[in-house]
Amino acid sequence: MARHWRAGAAGLAVLGLTLTACSGAKVGDSSSAGSKSSGGKCGTFNLAVNPWVGYEADAAVVAYVAQHDLGCTVNKKDLKEEIAWQGFGTGEVDAVLENWGHDDLKKKYITGQKTAVEAGQTGNKGIIGWFVPPWLAKAHPDITDWKNLDKYAANFKTSESGGKGQLLDGDPSYVTNDAALVKNLKLDYKVVYAGSETALIQAFRTAEKNKQWVIGYFYEPQWFLSEVPLVKVNLPAYKTGCDADAAKVACDYPVYNLDKIVSAKFATSGSPAYDLVKKFNWTNDDQNAVAKYIAQDKMSPDAAAKKWVEANRDKVDAWLK
């Protein structure tokens, strides 16, 4: 019996080989191989991708340009802010493209460990604040003034807010003074921590659809605002220094000039990718366009970047000069 099977196997193998020997392209043929010709000059470029779509849009475009115009091998690494910054020191991360303030991290890694340096602004303006769904702003226009918030506190009550109005906060990594704000503005609200951006967006989405009362932390540029244009509530205007003491903050958030951070090593490496990162600059509308391709049109980041780059060649060329 054994001989039988062995013969059968050999026969099968030969059959298989002859059948396929003349069919199909071989791996490594120039026609089929994905041409990833890494130009010698640039080498690898480790780009951190923080977990929000706006950042992903930045990263997609910069990676696309670095790969196609500079011939870099781009490694995108999906990391949260804290871990990404940590990677500057270990050499695992070269650049962070969209930093929201984060004075704590700057202090630790730029002035403290000296493993990171600033690389200028992205051109995006970051706005943080309290937002309500559009139907609510339309039905009660005066709600956009913080002084009227207490009047509506009872409507914002939920099972979580312990009898007060609920102010919904999102991902804990976001810059927020909300608990202090509620206390210092003496509002009848309680900050409830949704714990993630997903939870926050879903809450606003449901609220707009079912005409529910929700007020919460949000920010722009953010792709979700093109789906549901949330309306910002005006807190006491921001003045320089009014947020100096985190416990005593009683004013709105400043407008953040989002900036880029690179590792100290990368900054002195002479890599053309560094020059690209340093010159990379675009508007909120640009970012929103790419973010929309990714989040709503469900394009892959690479395809989204390609579409934008092809439509905005002049802007890209300015970064490459």
Residues 289-308 touching another protein, rule: CB under 8 A, are 294-296, 298
Answer yes or no: are the C-beta atoms of 67 and 74 closer than 8 Å. Answer: yes
Q: Which strand (E) or helix (H) includes residue 130?
A: strand 116-132
Binders of another protein among residues 252 to 281 (CB under 8 A) are none
Answer yes or no: are the C-beta atoms of 111 and 264 closer than 8 Å. Answer: no
| In the complex, least distance from residue 209 CB atom to another protein, rounded to whole angstroms | 8
Cα–Cα distance measured from residue 105 to residue 124, given in angstroms and rounded to the nearest whole number? 20
Half-sphere exposure of 311 (CA within 13 A, CB side): 10
Measured from the CB atom, the residue of 63 and 168 that comes closer to another protein is 168
Q: Which residues contact 151 (CB under 8 A, 6 or more apart)?
A: none
| In the complex, least distance from residue 313 CB atom to another protein, rounded to whole angstroms | 27
| In the complex, least distance from residue 110 CB atom to another protein, rounded to whole angstroms | 13
Measured from the CB atom, the residue of 22 and 237 that comes closer to another protein is 22
Answer yes or no: are the C-beta atoms of 139 and 302 closer than 8 Å. Answer: no
Q: What are phi and psi of 187, to 5 degrees?
A: -95, 150
Cα–Cα distance measured from residue 229 to residue 231, given in angstroms and rounded to the nearest whole number? 6
Binders of another protein among residues 72 to 101 (CB under 8 A) are 77-83, 86-87, 89-90, 92-93
Binders of another protein among residues 139 to 158 (CB under 8 A) are 158
How many other CB atoms are there within 10 angstroms of residue 93's CB atom? 25
| In the complex, least distance from residue 228 CB atom to another protein, rounded to whole angstroms | 12
Kindly determine how many residues on this chain lie close enough to bind another protein according to the rule CB under 8 A. Answer: 76
| In the complex, least distance from residue 293 CB atom to another protein, rounded to whole angstroms | 11
State the first-to-last Cα distance of the chain, in angstroms, to the nearest integer: 74
Measured from the CB atom, the residue of 109 and 319 that comes closer to another protein is 109
Measured from the CB atom, the residue of 77 and 306 that comes closer to another protein is 77
Answer yes or no: are the C-beta atoms of 116 and 259 closer than 8 Å. Answer: no
Binding mask 7-46 for another protein (x = CB under 8 A): -xxx-xx--xx--x--xxxxxxx--xxx-x----------
| In the complex, least distance from residue 135 CB atom to another protein, rounded to whole angstroms | 16
Interface with another protein (CB under 8 A), residue from 154, 172, 311, 317: 172
Its sign, for the CA torsion 56, 199, 149, 162, is: negative
CA dihedral 260, 264, 267, 273 (to 10 degrees): -60
Binders of another protein among residues 186 to 205 (CB under 8 A) are 191-203, 205
| In the complex, least distance from residue 285 CB atom to another protein, rounded to whole angstroms | 19
Binders of another protein among residues 98 to 127 (CB under 8 A) are 104-105, 108, 113
Q: Which stretch binds another protein (CB under 8 A): 119-127, 171-179, 254-262, 270-278?
A: 171-179
Q: Which strand (E) or helix (H) includes residue 135?
A: helix 134-139
Answer yes or no: are the C-beta atoms of 286 and 217 closer than 8 Å. Answer: no
Q: Determine if residue 298 is left, alpha or beta; phi over 0 gives left, psi from -120 to 50 gives alpha, anything else beta.
A: left
Measured from the CB atom, the residue of 18 and 240 that comes closer to another protein is 18
59 in contact with another protein (CB under 8 A):
no
Interface with another protein (CB under 8 A), residue from 179, 187, 231, 242: 179
Measured from the CB atom, the residue of 2 and 244 that comes closer to another protein is 2
Measured from the CB atom, the residue of 32 and 234 that comes closer to another protein is 32
DSSP state at residue 254:
P
